[in-house]
Structure 1
Amino acid sequence: MEIKEIYNNFLQTTGIATDNRKINTDNLFVALKGDNFNGNKFALSALENGAKFAIIDESEYKIDDRFILVKDSLTALQQLANYHRNQLKIIIIGLTGSNGKTTTKELINAVLSQKLNTKATIGNLNNHIGVPLTLLSFDSSTEIGIVEMGANHQKEIEMLCGICQPDFGYITNFGKAHLEGFGGTEGVIKGKSELYEYLSSHHKTVFVNSDDAIQNKKTTNINRITFGINNTANFVNITKIETNPMLKIEFEDTTIQSHLIGLYNANNINAAITIGKHFGITNDKIKFGLENYIPNNNRSQLLEKDTNKIILDAYNANPSSMNAALTNFFQLEEKYKVAILGDMFELGIESSDEHKKLIEFCFNQEDINFHFIGKDFFAHKNSNTNMNFYETFETFQSAFPNQKIENSFLLIKGSRGMSLERTLDLL
């Protein structure tokens, strides 16, 4: 079936579903496949649960005209999303980077939605499936779509750009994330810069942090709008930054008291300010949007539990984000501080060295009690009296009742697979 015909069927539905257990009435079900599942087997169930049509790619499951048979369901989903994007003809902002993508996306959305009908990637649906689903959630009332693009190997951002065709782009940073898939730090820079290559070849515009030397160099021949700190940029400049521990910034005649933790979030806020101003959002509305954004989902959340204050940043971790979080934590003027840190994943052959470097980064912080959790940290355990090492979360859990952590400021950070938010139940 031609993509135009599939699109006409899509227009008769209430949206896309890929899980037959989560069907809304008149959805279009797309039968995707994975290593351990075959969505074709659940297409009939999806229709029985209320779906209007089902896209399948195995002919044996086609029973009647409600089943749309294609060569490959995933490819059909991606083509459908691209076709929809071109029918809507809306402005798309593409966003990627090693750290801070989701937070920055939410900040941009918080600002732009003060004036424009804006939709953004939900959660972190930012891969080869999530990006099409995001695009297909936009409709004729959408004025600007913010599409987060994640990647862990070369050519992935290129492929996602081909689907969403961004008009504007922003890369948060180049950090030590997914080193295994990208093949090292240079591979990360090359892979993320595929967004720049797309925007340059299509004569589009990038937003650039002028304080980032690598990004400055890579965007000299692209139409760009820059922001920075203390008059380094041509558009928006933050003139003052404070953390106590919430981040407060000043630009032009405006002061913004955010709910975000850490100096590293200053650039994320500045990107949102810059993009907002470019699209005509006034300073007072930018202030309102940013001050009313409250982080969740274990991302830089400031919590209080009994007598303790907690920075919960357990959604993900890599050497760059861990270093930034610790640098901020070290600067906080608190009497009793505890850092609970979990292993960083997907670092490949550099994993051992990066975990060792992070431990060494903490050596001179004798006033902080460190708890390193996971086999990669455990492999570099030492005898420092303020450093504790646990090979698993379970061993940490067993030892935790003896810690008696009270009236302290805690940082909890680790890769998603470590699930360090479980620590909250121990406090």
Structure 2
Amino acid sequence: MIEYIYKRYTNSFHVTIDSRNVKVGSIFFALKGENNDGNAFAADALKNGAVLAVIDNPIYLTQGCVLVDNSLHALQQLANYHRQRLNTKIFAITGSNGKTTTKELLFAVLSKKYKTKATIGNLNNHIGVPLTLLSLTPEVEFAIVEMGANHPGDIDELCRIAEPDFGLITNIGRAHLGGFGGFEGVINTKGELYKYLVSKRETIFYNHQNPILVELLKRYKAQSAIPYSNFVDDCIIDETNTDPFLSLTIKDKENIAAIQTHLVGNYNVENVMAAYAVGRYFGVDINSIIDAIEKYVPSNNRSQLIKTQNNTVIMDAYNANPSSMEHALKNFGKLSYPLKVVILGEMLELGEYSTDEHKKIADLASSMNFDKIFLVGKGFANINGNFHYFDSALDCANYLRRNPLINATVLVKGSRGVKLEQVINVL
């Protein structure tokens, strides 16, 4: 069955799970979601131009459909089948923080020399990774595939679908603690990428300054592991620069690269180092690497600098966990501005660790002498301190509409489920 579906797929190299996103020649996969059953939209997909609809409910079987036991498994099998027929080099990225930024930086750098594609947005799970693979056409030389995880085994599953040739873990922090059963569970799950690459004798890139990653490599007896230090002798942050954008100098045996990024936060140094090291390894010209990194501008609420009519906003509310929240607060604390305000959204998916982790962040923020602190979301409820608390981002926005901030520099940080973007219009 997969061979038949694949033959139809190669006529367009386009699959979709949304009947509204069908192109002529597409293959539609009917997946079941929390609210909708994709099987019910198979007929619409065919009417909109799909050449085939893959379904797993016989009630909807009609001309143009193929019936499989599980549409999601069929999508994953097709993606792996396609991957095995490509000459494309697959570069996998995972980590607790910075994986999307690193993915985007690597894409910018490698695109200077190679025909490159990368995961779009945050399509980094058991559905997104297959869709990324199936978006690859034969002429693509490099594909950068982001891999996310919420539970043990997730990264291993994605590796078996994507079969990466190269990989890196950005870092390992206290994220999704509820799903992983604690920090050791996070380490083991992220480490599944190393374990897979070692088993296939593929190449790992790693931050030599990260003791957790170094220890993981020893655990799995990695033979083909390349430290960033092979290409970076020294990385110096320009602490005298009061601009919120990260400015740094990378030195190696042959070059001194001064780089002015559009990234807010010194915690982005390891992301820049990764892109620099990988680019050097694959023979990208040093000036092209610098140009790619300097021209990359983050979007989608990731380390964005937004100038509103009244304030300057550092918007970093795409995702949050205790590690990234701590880094953001400490970095913001170092910046010299006359009026500094933080708006923090709760950190989701922490399970039994939620209360303690939210209190630690609230205490850290309170100790840093910010002019005002706003905490949003039930994770911060029942914590005493010198701050304003709101159940929701909408409640916070309504308060700020009545009590506007003027001439402030505002850090907005939280999990995307809190929807902190609602406060931007009133800042």
Bin for the TM-score computed over the shorter chain: over 0.9
Question: How much has 1:134 moved relative to structure 2?
Answer: 0.2
Q: Which residue of 2 aligns with 1:235?
A: 231
Q: Which residue of 1 aligns with 2:394?
A: 394
What amino acid is the match of 1:190?
Answer: N
Query: Which of 305, 308, 317 is the matching residue for 1:305?
Result: 308
Q: Which residue of 1 aligns with 2:95?
A: 97
Cα distance between partner residues in 2 of 1:35 and 1:377: 28
Contact 1:27–1:52, Cα closer than 8 Å, also in 2: yes
Cα distance between partner residues in 2 of 1:152 and 1:183: 10
Question: How much has 1:402 moved relative to structure 2?
Answer: 4.3
User: What is the DSSP-based 3-state SS (H/G/I as helix, E as strand, rest coil) of the residue aligned with 1:34?
Assistant: coil
User: What is the DSSP-based 3-state SS (H/G/I as helix, E as strand, rest coil) of the residue aligned with 1:196?
Assistant: helix
Write out aligned runs for 1:290-329 (5 A): 290-329=293-332
1:132 aligns with 2:130: yes
Q: Which residue of 2 aligns with 1:106?
A: 104
Contact 2:393–2:423, Cα closer than 8 Å, also in 1: no
Q: Which residue of 2 aligns with 1:85?
A: 83
Cα distance between partner residues in 2 of 1:184 and 1:365: 28
User: What is the DSSP-based 3-state SS (H/G/I as helix, E as strand, rest coil) of the residue aligned with 1:404?
Assistant: coil
Question: How much has 1:219 moved relative to structure 2?
Answer: 1.1
Question: How much has 1:84 moved relative to structure 2?
Answer: 0.5
Question: How much has 1:235 moved relative to structure 2?
Answer: 2.8
User: What is the DSSP-based 3-state SS (H/G/I as helix, E as strand, rest coil) of the residue aligned with 1:37?
Assistant: coil
Question: How much has 1:61 moved relative to structure 2?
Answer: 2.2
Cα distance between partner residues in 2 of 1:43 and 1:367: 54
What amino acid is the match of 2:214?
Answer: N
Structure 1: segments with no counterpart, 5+ residues: 228-232
User: What is the DSSP-based 3-state SS (H/G/I as helix, E as strand, rest coil) of the residue aligned with 1:88?
Assistant: coil
Runs of 4+ in 1 over 6 A off after TM superposition: none
1:24 aligns with 2:23: yes
Contact 2:244–2:335, Cα closer than 8 Å, also in 1: yes
Q: Which residue of 2 aligns with 1:256?
A: 259
Q: Which residue of 1 aligns with 2:197?
A: 199
What amino acid is the match of 1:255?
Answer: A
Cα distance between partner residues in 1 of 2:396 and 2:92: 40
What amino acid is the match of 2:15?
Answer: I
Question: How much has 1:389 moved relative to structure 2?
Answer: 1.6
What percentage of aligned pairs have identical amino acids?
47
Question: How much has 1:250 moved relative to structure 2?
Answer: 1.1
Q: Which residue of 1 aligns with 2:152?
A: 154
Q: Which residue of 2 aligns with 1:143?
A: 141
Question: How much has 1:234 moved relative to structure 2?
Answer: 2.9
Question: How much has 1:401 moved relative to structure 2?
Answer: 3.2
Structure 2: segments with no counterpart, 5+ residues: none
Query: Which of 123, 127, 130 is the matching residue for 2:121?
Result: 123
Cα distance between partner residues in 2 of 1:108 and 1:5: 35
Contact 1:111–1:285, Cα closer than 8 Å, also in 2: yes
User: What is the DSSP-based 3-state SS (H/G/I as helix, E as strand, rest coil) of the residue aligned with 1:251?
Assistant: strand
What amino acid is the match of 1:18?
Answer: I
Per-residue Cα deviation, 1:295-335 (whole angstroms, up to 9, x for no partner): 00000000101231110011111101100100100000111
What amino acid is the match of 1:19?
Answer: D
User: What is the DSSP-based 3-state SS (H/G/I as helix, E as strand, rest coil) of the residue aligned with 2:266?
Assistant: coil
Per-residue Cα deviation, 1:255-280 (whole angstroms, up to 9, x for no partner): 11100011100000100111111111
User: What is the DSSP-based 3-state SS (H/G/I as helix, E as strand, rest coil) of the residue aligned with 1:264?
Assistant: helix
1:5 aligns with 2:1: no
1:51 aligns with 2:54: no
Cα distance between partner residues in 1 of 2:411 and 2:150: 26
User: What is the DSSP-based 3-state SS (H/G/I as helix, E as strand, rest coil) of the residue aligned with 2:375?
Assistant: strand
Question: How much has 1:76 moved relative to structure 2?
Answer: 0.7
Contact 1:14–1:25, Cα closer than 8 Å, also in 2: no
Q: Which residue of 2 aligns with 1:381?
A: 384
Per-residue Cα deviation, 1:229-256 (whole angstroms, up to 9, x for no partner): xxxx233234311252111111232111
Question: How much has 1:69 moved relative to structure 2?
Answer: 1.9
User: What is the DSSP-based 3-state SS (H/G/I as helix, E as strand, rest coil) of the residue aligned with 1:294?
Assistant: coil
Q: Which residue of 1 aligns with 2:33?
A: 34
1:350 aligns with 2:353: yes
RMSD: 1.3
Contact 1:225–1:235, Cα closer than 8 Å, also in 2: no
Cα distance between partner residues in 2 of 1:281 and 1:59: 52
Cα distance between partner residues in 1 of 2:158 and 2:309: 45
Q: Which residue of 2 aligns with 1:230?
A: none
Question: How much has 1:374 moved relative to structure 2?
Answer: 1.4
Q: TM-score, normalised by structure 2?
A: 0.95
Per-residue Cα deviation, 1:367-425 (whole angstroms, up to 9, x for no partner): 4311111122122032x2xx222233333233223433111111001111111111111
Contact 1:46–1:54, Cα closer than 8 Å, also in 2: yes
Cα distance between partner residues in 1 of 2:381 and 2:179: 24
Per-residue Cα deviation, 1:101-146 (whole angstroms, up to 9, x for no partner): 1111000000000110000000000000000000001111100110
Contact 1:381–1:389, Cα closer than 8 Å, also in 2: no
User: How many aligned residue pairs are there?
Assistant: 417
Query: Which of 274, 285, 302 is the matching residue for 1:271?
Result: 274
Per-residue Cα deviation, 1:146-190 (whole angstroms, up to 9, x for no partner): 000000000010000000001111001111111110111110001
What amino acid is the match of 1:25?
Answer: V
Q: Which residue of 2 aligns with 1:334?
A: 337
Contact 1:17–1:23, Cα closer than 8 Å, also in 2: yes
Cα distance between partner residues in 2 of 1:265 and 1:183: 27
Q: Which residue of 2 aligns with 1:225?
A: 226
Cα distance between partner residues in 1 of 2:119 and 2:234: 27
Cα distance between partner residues in 2 of 1:394 and 1:7: 47
1:406 aligns with 2:409: no
Cα distance between partner residues in 2 of 1:57 and 1:175: 38
Cα distance between partner residues in 2 of 1:169 and 1:394: 40
Contact 1:94–1:166, Cα closer than 8 Å, also in 2: yes
Q: TM-score, normalised by structure 1?
A: 0.95
